[in-house]
Amino acid sequence: MRDDAGGSHEPVLCDKFFLPASRMVLCMNETYVRLLCPECGKDWEASPDDLPDPTDTFHCPNCHASRPTSEFTRTERDLETLKQFK
């Protein structure tokens, strides 16, 4: 089924809800970057939207260490994910 603007109205299963395909953009999975403080060892996850650019200063919420955000990413893959969304 298509609407007048050419969009589809076929239902799409998205996180247990059915939505028209034209609204599917609302179903994107949340992306997280895994972080590890190089000083105190605290590990956590954060959305790339909540983090500064990789070269900007970031502060550990546990010990308040200050370093470039890239030094807090747990793996190269986490760093690449952060760069992709900045």
Model pLDDT, residue 62 = 97
Neighbouring CB atoms inside 10 A of 48's CB total 19
Task: State which residues of the chain have pLDDT below 50.
Answer: 1-19, 21-27
> What are the extents of the domains in the chain?
1-28, 33-84
pTM of this prediction? 0.66
CA distance 35 to 41: 10
- Cβ atoms 52, 85 nearer than 8 A: no
Q: Give the 3-state secondary structure of residue 19.
A: strand
Domain spanning 33-84: which CATH class is it, in words?
mainly beta
H helices of the chain, where? 76-84
Q: In this structure, which amino acid lies at residue 58?
A: F
Give the pLDDT of residue 28.
52
Q: What is the pLDDT of residue 22?
A: 47
